[in-house]
Structure 1
Amino acid sequence: MTITVDYDQPDWGSSRVYGDGDLSGLWVPDKVVVHWGGAPGPPITKAGERRLLRGWQRFHIESRGWRDIAYNYAVGNSGTLYRLRGWNPSGATSGDFEGDGIPEN
């Protein structure tokens, strides 16, 4: 499965970049988790969306102690699709996905 994004990790200023590798049908997602971090207010520009993503990433890494922003993708108010962790790395929303006692955050 391929997801075409408008902004890849370096394009929005991510401090972390992941390669997805070749999934070759090894795993097919069976659910989608949606987290809305927005608030009512004036429309935000794409530059503002990118700035917001960098802030969320900083918060998750520096304040929470996680390895990265918790989510795999983000959709801005503009409808722009941003790649965060990407397709392969487990999102922090999954907790200990691999069952090895090491949180995937």
Structure 2
Amino acid sequence: MALNKKGSRHIIVDGIEYRWRIRRKPTYMQGLCWTPMTYAVEAANADQPGTTLVVTTGQTHPSNWLVLEAGPIRPAHVAAGIREAQIQGWDPTQAGSPFQLDRSVGFIPQP
């Protein structure tokens, strides 16, 4: 799975360039604030597509339908997620299924 270049942002973590993106529209579950927002990360300069990192955050999607306030995902959050995923075994150069990183501790779904 490769990320669309349009709408993605670049970040350099420990000398490696990555591209990350938040889904523009929330999923049905995210729209109702039943599940937290996710974003995807991949190596930006890889010759061949590798494993995509999917990070589940602890906050609601900014475009949720309940108009609940959502905090921003800052580059520091993305960098911390990348480092944590690498510690857990994510290798962005290896092909394979998306690597899931759950950072949603403290998320409270809305009834």
TM-score of the superposed pair, with normalisation by structure 1: 0.34
TM-score (norm 2): 0.33
Higher helix share: 1
